[in-house]
Structure 1
Amino acid sequence: MENFKLLKIEDSLKNSLEKMKFTKPTPIQAMAIPVALEGKDILGTAQTGTGKTLAFSIPLINKLILDKNAFALVMCPTRELATQVMAAIKSIISDKINIKTALLIGGEAMQKQLRQLGNRSRIIVGTPGRINDHLKRKSLNLSATKYLVLDETDRMLDMGFTPQIELILKFVPKDHQTLLFSATLPQNIVRISERYLNKPQRISTGSTSVPIAKIKQETLQVFKENKYDQLVDQFIARKGSILVFVKTKRGADKMVKRLKEEGHSADAIHGDLRQSKRDRVITSFRKGLKRILIATDVAARGLDIPLIQHVINYDLPQVPEDYVHRIGRTARAGTEGSALTFLTPDDRSMWNEISKLIDPNFKPAPRGARGDSRSGKRGKAPYNKKRKFRDEKKSSYGRSSSSSRDGEKKSFGYKGKSSFGDKSKPSSYGRSSSSSRDGEKSFGYKGKSSSSSSRDGEKKSFGYKGKSSFRR
């Protein structure tokens, strides 16, 4: 299928797609839509940002146009993703199609949702928790559900929604079509598909663990106490919107408070925010009113903001697969983007796991003879609210766009290669695209880590053994 015009769908839906200027389908859409229109179950895997929302929405709407008594249920792991899926569905429901919808997510007034359900909404999009709430209240009737979508299923299972999903499926009649989409395909997903899907057709577009090719990936080797200053330097050196991932909600709030005090346009998004606040934060970032968004992993899946030019992993994720989903927030819909990951000596183990996920040939360094991870540490930079952030010429240990003039040796003691970009260029410790005038600085990893460039060949590397080339 090379064009949406070739689809065997109702004219009203075809006209709606033309008005939205949807002409050429993405690979997942070209593969999944014709199969779904035939009524077959689908087990689909695709990277984030590949257009799978439209891949299941077009057949869904077409089915409901043909069957006026049919209902559709779409389950998503997070409120943000559910809201975006609903927006995508509504965008292609024209007045002539006239199918009512209901968005069932936590953090929003129950009365509003009850009104939507009472208005015979035939497309239900929601999160498992709130859908279950309505089932318990008997305000939601799924007996006429003919089309079921489980979106980002691996994420739903990771978040502990398995019991809620299984409970919901008991209310769905056996005679229905199921489309299950997942960014990864672990064994628990396979078990669910065997249990609930009927001879599903397997659809996959590219690797589910290799990040999108148009994302330029870099690493920045830093000491923990210098991370914040490194981050600020990245804000100065980069243009455009920046999404920063941190480990905790408290850490996100503390960072935003400090950034605002220092004059940066920043906001935070995490699970403790009320839905109305989360919506305002995302809207202001999407419109460009805020340049920097500090997020926990709640935003790693489903957050579709075409504006994001850079993703920075300030803290590594708890689960290796989430690295792929984090950096997938940039380079959406065919655009280019960059992803920078901060690595401290303590990140060695998790980074090895992430590297193994991305590059099957990656071999971690042996755990023998680790050097003193404290060697070469410098004191924490003084906190200064009045610091002038536009002064890019200031030289600092381990900063972006800076130079080093001392020749001291620093060793962490790992051996190996870690190539995250141009393999021919050695990496400079604590710098991205930086230069060095003299001296050799070795952190004990024998090998290459080409996340940056060096003018005179100084070696600085955390050196995880094995090659991991992310520019594919």
Structure 2
Amino acid sequence: SDDDYVPYIPVKKRKKQRLEAIKTLATNKSNYMTSKLQKNDNHDGQNDSDTDIATYQMLGPKSHISLLDQHSQLKLEAQARKETAREKQLKEEEKILESVAEKTALMGVAELAKGIQYGDSIKTSWKVPKYVLAMPPSRHQRVRDRLRILTEGEDIPPPLKTFQEMKFPKVMIQALKKRGILKPTPIQIQGLPAVLSGRDIIGIAFTGSGKTLVFVLPLVMFCLEQEINLPFIRNEGPYGLIICPSRELAKQTNDIIEYFFNQLASHGQPELRCCLCIGGFPIKDQLETIKRGVHVVVATPGRLMDMLDKKMISLSICRYLCLDEADRMIDMGFEEDVRTIFSYFKGQRQTLLFSATMPKKIQNFARSALVRPVTVNVGRAGAANLDVKQEVEYVKQEEKMPHILNSLQKTLPPVLVFAEKKQDVDAIHEYLLLRGIDAVSIHGGKDQEERSVSVQQFISGKKDVLVATDVASKGLDFPNVQHIINYDMPDDIENYVHRIGRTGRCGKTGVATTFVNKTCEESILLDLKHLLIEAKQVVPEFLATMETETEQYLNIGGEVGCSYCGGLGHRITDCPKLEAIQNKQAQNIGRKDYLASGAADW
């Protein structure tokens, strides 16, 4: 209306009016102080309270406080508001984490139905050396602090710094030396005594730190002990079960176990058998090994569940279970598969979970399946390997393919190239072959024989470049790879950590080059930025300038970054992975309701 109309005042005029107001205020204050001094000099005894109140109202409530004191007061008030905002943020995060937490424990159906709970760990014949037990606990803690080993749990076994202290026989120590392993790594120093003692364990360490030996060496010794005490008969076994997320990782683990089994057999020890149960290989050959009596089964979830369902394999005497890359095994969509496998066990088992990336949400969920668990953490869960030099380059989408040729010049072969999509892998492979580069490729669409041949040719040095999807990113050991090229940034920062972990293994150094552009989501780039900062790597300018309002809350309440996915560039309140999963669940619910109503109408 016309009554509410406010005429426009130009900026210059507004500034002039503000200056005049300040000038008037300063003049009034000066006149007030002068008049007050004069009154004090006169000592006329008159009451000036009414005049003081009027002047106080005219000059403002803080006219008697210096600007420095006012600034200090404002800082204190801002700090109080900030603390209140942090408390509000933490309470909101606790509610979200509680809402997404699994209400059902990670146990078998029968155990949940009958309420079976185990109070004591599995008993083993292995004992810590007496002279180590006689040392004070402060010595053990000093060893952990020096090696940056973080532990959680009760009655944690002491760390042992040599394989001799762990009481491994000479044949095992010689077998390790043949592989160039002379002393244990930090995760092995604390992890091996815990596993040998029969304790359930959550093992977290950066890629290439030797986690595989932490669950392989004790299993080999337990199987040897079982075979010596009471030999396995036909159709008996396995005693130990190792589940891996990919076929390549399962095959690699099986090869390591068979190496130690063969070393023991060559020195007069009983024959031990290991069976590899993965898709892509004839199930007939796997059944023949199982019928002879098998000590260890290494499997992927799909083939294992199929064989258990068809009663081709029994877990009635299995007492040792390891989930390698456990965060992938029990991530969203895999809980029911793991519970189904757990339901085939007939008694208590020793459960081991290992990974380089394991967010707090997964750790809390995993503990529900463990008995008196010990958590061994070398570095932050999800941290990048510090032996890898990370380089991030901005490359336009159409320039990526020729830019790979430039990146290949950084180091000598072999080189690993990762891409998200199968069609990108095939396109890169074809492009490199046309440029005269010896390259092979693997992804989930290829048959297992072709995948195995490609990996073997790459490891043996017959091929210079391996192009792959994330099937080759988790757990695979490529000891001579000096360079990793990420053709595109993965959708999950955990996959990025696993990818670059294929180089810089076992104390060696490596280079990881990642191509990014405007097609990458801002959330994953922020995670990458803070991962580079944590690893003290060079942060490119286009990443350094990226900021969000939530960055001030990235490190509050003792928890770094997101407690759901482990990303450093956001909190759980802004987690894109959680949002995507919730959206997917909502869509599935809607679709099911729609189909149900449609079926009823039909």
TM-score where L is the length of structure 1: 0.75
Confirm whether residue 76 of structure 1 aligns to residue 244 of structure 2. yes
Equivalent residues in 2 for 1:214-229 (5 A)? 214-229=387-402
The range that moved more, 72-81 or 1-10, is 1-10
- Determine the C-alpha separation between the residues in 1 that align with 2:179 and 2:396: 48
Aligned-pair identity (%)? 35
- Which residue of structure 1 lines up, in the alignment, with residue 113 of structure 2? none
- Which residue of structure 2 lines up, in the alignment, with residue 42 of structure 1? 201
Q: In 2 relative to 1, CA 221–420 (structure 1 residues): closer, same or farther, beyond 3 Å?
A: farther
On the 8 A contact 1:20/1:92 being kept in 2, the answer is no
Equivalent residues in 2 for 1:286-435 (5 A)? 286-347=459-520, 349=522, 350-356=524-530, 359=533, 420-421=537-538
SS at match of 2:242: strand
- Determine the C-alpha separation between the residues in 1 that align with 2:514 and 2:175: 41
| 2:327 aligned to which of 154, 168, 177 | 154
Q: Deviations over 1:20-39 (max 9, x none)?
A: 55320111111111111111
- Which residue of structure 2 lines up, in the alignment, with residue 131 of structure 1? 304
Confirm whether residue 201 of structure 1 aligns to residue 374 of structure 2. yes
- Determine the C-alpha separation between the residues in 2 that align with 1:286 and 1:144: 36
- Which residue of structure 1 lines up, in the alignment, with residue 409 of structure 2? 236
Confirm whether residue 62 of structure 1 aligns to residue 221 of structure 2. yes
- Which residue of structure 2 lines up, in the alignment, with residue 100 of structure 1? 273
- Which residue of structure 1 lines up, in the alignment, with residue 258 of structure 2? 90
Q: Deviations over 1:158-199 (max 9, x none)?
A: 484322211111111332211111222235523442321101
- Which residue of structure 2 lines up, in the alignment, with residue 391 of structure 1? none
Counterpart amino acid of residue 514 in structure 2: T
Q: In 2 relative to 1, CA 336–357 (structure 1 residues): closer, same or farther, beyond 3 Å?
A: closer
- Determine the C-alpha separation between the residues in 2 that align with 1:359 and 1:10: 44
Q: In 2 relative to 1, CA 97–11 (structure 1 residues): closer, same or farther, beyond 3 Å?
A: farther
SS at match of 1:60: helix
Q: In 2 relative to 1, CA 53–226 (structure 1 residues): closer, same or farther, beyond 3 Å?
A: same
Counterpart amino acid of residue 211 in structure 2: K
Q: In 2 relative to 1, CA 303–15 (structure 1 residues): closer, same or farther, beyond 3 Å?
A: closer
**Aligned-CA RMSD value:** 2.4
Q: Give 5+ residue unaligned stretches, structure 1.
A: 362-418, 428-447, 450-460, 468-472
- Which residue of structure 2 lines up, in the alignment, with residue 432 of structure 1? none
- Determine the C-alpha separation between the residues in 2 that align with 1:226 and 1:204: 41
| 2:184 aligned to which of 18, 22, 25 | 25
TM-score where L is the length of structure 2: 0.59
On the 8 A contact 1:128/1:161 being kept in 2, the answer is no
Q: In 2 relative to 1, CA 18–298 (structure 1 residues): closer, same or farther, beyond 3 Å?
A: closer
| 2:452 aligned to which of 274, 279, 282 | 279
- Which residue of structure 1 lines up, in the alignment, with residue 154 of structure 2? none
Counterpart amino acid of residue 415 in structure 2: I
On the 8 A contact 1:266/1:292 being kept in 2, the answer is yes
SS at match of 2:519: helix
Confirm whether residue 463 of structure 1 aligns to residue 549 of structure 2. no
SS at match of 2:506: helix
SS at match of 1:217: strand
SS at match of 2:376: strand
- Determine the C-alpha separation between the residues in 1 that align with 2:218 and 2:242: 13
What displacement does 1:61 show? 1.3
Q: In 2 relative to 1, CA 135–6 (structure 1 residues): closer, same or farther, beyond 3 Å?
A: same
Q: In 2 relative to 1, CA 67–358 (structure 1 residues): closer, same or farther, beyond 3 Å?
A: farther
SS at match of 2:372: coil
Counterpart amino acid of residue 102 in structure 1: C
What displacement does 1:141 show? 0.8
On the 8 A contact 1:214/1:335 being kept in 2, the answer is yes
Counterpart amino acid of residue 464 in structure 1: M
Q: Deviations over 1:303-337 (max 9, x none)?
A: 21112110111101021111111100111111110
What displacement does 1:258 show? 2.0
Counterpart amino acid of residue 249 in structure 2: L
Q: Give 5+ residue unaligned stretches, structure 2.
A: 1-159, 231-237, 552-602
What displacement does 1:16 show? 4.1
- Which residue of structure 2 lines up, in the alignment, with residue 405 of structure 1? none
On the 8 A contact 1:267/1:290 being kept in 2, the answer is yes
What displacement does 1:208 show? 2.4
Structure 1 or 2, whichever has the larger Rg, is 2
On the 8 A contact 1:284/1:290 being kept in 2, the answer is yes
On the 8 A contact 1:13/1:97 being kept in 2, the answer is no
Counterpart amino acid of residue 243 in structure 2: M
Equivalent residues in 2 for 1:156-175 (5 A)? 156-158=329-331, 160-175=333-348
SS at match of 2:164: helix
- Determine the C-alpha separation between the residues in 1 that align with 2:488 and 2:239: 42
On the 8 A contact 1:10/1:62 being kept in 2, the answer is no
What displacement does 1:98 show? 1.9
On the 8 A contact 1:71/1:123 being kept in 2, the answer is yes
- Determine the C-alpha separation between the residues in 2 that align with 1:281 and 1:211: 27
SS at match of 2:482: strand
SS at match of 2:204: strand
- Determine the C-alpha separation between the residues in 2 that align with 1:251 and 1:295: 9
Counterpart amino acid of residue 305 in structure 2: N
What displacement does 1:14 show? 4.5
- Which residue of structure 2 lines up, in the alignment, with residue 267 of structure 1? 440
On the 8 A contact 2:359/2:382 being kept in 1, the answer is no
- Determine the C-alpha separation between the residues in 2 that align with 1:315 and 1:262: 21
Counterpart amino acid of residue 463 in structure 1: T
- Determine the C-alpha separation between the residues in 2 that align with 1:333 and 1:20: 12
What displacement does 1:462 show? 7.4
- Determine the C-alpha separation between the residues in 2 that align with 1:5 and 1:20: 17
- Determine the C-alpha separation between the residues in 2 that align with 1:144 and 1:358: 47
SS at match of 1:332: coil
SS at match of 1:63: helix
Q: In 2 relative to 1, CA 20–286 (structure 1 residues): closer, same or farther, beyond 3 Å?
A: closer
Counterpart amino acid of residue 546 in structure 2: Y
